[in-house]
Amino acid sequence: MKTITKLLMLTGAISLPPGAWAQEGEPIKIGVLHSLSGTMAISETTLKDTVLMMVEQQNAKGGVLGRPLEAVVVDPASDWPLFAEKARELLTVSEVDAIFGCWTSVSRKSVLPVIEELNGLLFYPVQYEGEESSKNVIYTGAAPNQQAIPAVEYMTEELGVEKWALLGTDYVYPRTTNNILESYLKDQGVAAGDIFVNYTPFGHSDWSKIVSDVVALGADGKKVGVVSTINGDANVGFYKELAAAGISADDIPVMAFSVGEEELSGLDTGNLVGHLAAWNYFQTAETDENAAFIEEWHKSTGDESRVTNDPMEATMLGFNLWVQAVEKAGSTETDAVLDAIVGLEVPNLTGSTATVLPNHHLTKPVLIGEIRDDGQFDIVSETDPVPGDAWTDFLPESAVLDADWPGKECGMFNTKTGSCVQVQSNY
């Protein structure tokens, strides 16, 4: 039995008949809640593969608490309400101890009531708009102060941008991020007339009018920059239209928050060279940790061409933090893990460490990358790790809020009234 168990632990998550693990302990189940079909599959399938790689590696080390890990994979199919149904299924039918999943904020918002009702635990690995702190979520992607604000600061200080086009896909993440950025820019003295905001639906393809409006911003000779929260394949048409209009990265630089290595993989990047992206990780980071991660990824997938990206690193950080918290707590029970996880540190892939903060966000470095013709990024700026801020300082109603789960058991503590607000923001 020990020989069989050891072999199975090395091969990753395998389902066995009830009682088959009896002598070595039942498997610990974790849920993988990522779209494997539909419009988001191109991005989310990679994160499913990342979790399976981490499970395989952990099982090769002996599992967790001496028990093997088993990944329960479901497909919410890029259908936002289905995310909630699949989360409930994972917690009540499969009885998983933690869920790794979601990409878009609308999918996370769909899952949130279920996770909180059933006292589940979600590790969310993608940059997002902030304005949220749930006891039941560990946010391993960037908050706005770890991506959006530093990116705009870079464009102002290094590129001399004076006028701004905030272009986004029409859903909660771009709208809230742009609300924050518009408030921040005005606070910095940028006139309202020097800020152009536009939203387009998923899959938008006709960019001629919008690009013309962006170009027209610079008619007075002031430097124009684009901050892009455009998601998915709409980016292809946008960059092509810029090129067709004869606009280079030197003329009007684009700073993207949702374009990374995965999105550039396999595309003709000729129209994108020199434009920028802001993340907390790029595959081109030169560290031993990153080299080892890339090597393991290629070994796991059997494909040397598979790229790595920021949400993959955030997934890895969340997984390693969960393992560390479970081992510290001696339990996989949600409250015990949450009591153990705040303050824990794990190495990131850029040479520093990620620390879990009382607001359930992480410390993360901010990196600015310039797109190369091979679809990778030259890192042109990197900060020390920045503490994630759940509630932005640039919206008045949020500036007075803090989140402190171990101290105040509160995700929305009003520092002026000294009370905990019970209703989450609807941004």
pLDDT of residue 22: 33
Calculate the dihedral angle through the C-alpha atoms of 390, 391, 393, 397, rounding to the nearest 10 degrees.
180
Res 39: pLDDT: 81
Q: How far is CA 321 from CA 54, 169, 317, in A?
A: 12, 32, 6
Residue 11 confidence (pLDDT):
37
pLDDT for 24 equals 62
Which range, 40-44, 231-235, 319-323, has the best average confidence (pLDDT)?
319-323
Q: Domain segments of the chain: what residues? A: 2-142+286-363, 146-279
**DSSP H stretches of helix in 245-332:** 261-264, 288-301, 310-329
Confidence at residue 160, expressed as pLDDT on a 0 to 100 scale? 98
pLDDT at 315 over 90: yes
DSSP 356: B
Q: What is the mean pLDDT of residues 269-279?
A: 92
Q: Would the CATH topology of 2-142+286-363 be identical to that of 146-279?
A: yes
pLDDT value of residue 423: 56
Distance CA 216, CA 234 (A): 21
Summarised one tens digit per residue, pLDDT across range 13-24 is 333 333 333 336
Q: pLDDT tens digits for 45-93? A: 999 999 999 999 999 999 999 999 999 999 999 999 999 999 999 999 9
Q: Residue 3: pLDDT above 50? A: no
Class at the top of the CATH hierarchy for domain 146-279: alpha beta
What digits encode the pLDDT tens for the residues 98-142?
A: 999 999 999 999 999 999 999 999 999 999 999 999 999 999 999
Where is average pLDDT lowest: 32-46, 152-166, 291-305? 32-46
> Where does 121-260 have alpha helices with state H?
148-159, 172-187, 208-217, 234-244
Cβ-defined contacts of 114-122 (< 8 Å, 24+): 114/84, 114/87, 114/88, 115/87, 115/91, 118/88, 118/91, 118/92, 119/334, 119/335, 120/87, 120/90, 120/91, 120/96, 120/334, 121/97, 121/322, 121/334, 121/337, 121/338, 122/33, 122/87, 122/98
What topology is assigned to 2-142+286-363 in CATH? Answer: Rossmann fold (3.40.50)
Residue 1: which pLDDT band, with cuts at 50, 70 and 90? very low
Q: Give the tens place of pLDDT for each residue, 367-419.
A: 999 999 999 999 999 999 999 999 999 999 999 999 999 999 999 999 999 99
Residues with Cβ within 8 Å of residue 377, at least 6 apart in sequence: 261, 277, 282, 283, 284, 369, 370, 371
Confidence grade of residue 227 (pLDDT, cut at 50, 70, 90): very high
Look-up of token digits 């086009």: 165
Phi and psi dihedrals of 304, rounded to 5? Answer: -70, -15
